[in-house]
Amino acid sequence: MSLYGSLAATGKGQLTDVAIADALKPAKVEYHEFSDKNILKALATAGLFGNMIKNNASISGAEAACAMV
């Protein structure tokens, strides 16, 4: 692998070349079988969690903290 520019100057010391090489390797594909009941349960849980975040989220941390007081 050849690195260029600022990445070439600092990448090998920070193991960036190794990280890039690992990211480009083909991933091992694993297949899992889930029952319809488990899939529906997971989707319902994700929906409830997403709705909770949607209703309680704030862009401003200070705004959210002040609203809780």
Domain locations along the chain = 1-31, 33-69
As a whole number, mean pLDDT of residues 12-40 equals 80
Q: How far apart are CA 50 and CA 43, in angstroms?
A: 10
Give the residue with greater pLDDT, 66 vs 30: 30
pLDDT tier, 16 (very low <50, low <70, confident <90, very high otherwise): confident
Examine the pLDDT at 68 and tell me if it is beyond 80: no
Indicate the residue type of 37.
K
* Residue-level pLDDT at 4: 63
* Residue-level pLDDT at 21: 79
The count of other CB atoms within 10 Å of the CB of residue 7 is 13
CA angle 32, 51, 67 (to 5 degrees): 140
Spell out a b/e string for 15-52, using b for 16 or more CB atoms within 10 Å of the CB, else e: eebeeeeeeeeeeeeeeeeeeeeeeeeeeeeeeeeeee
Global pTM reads: 0.40
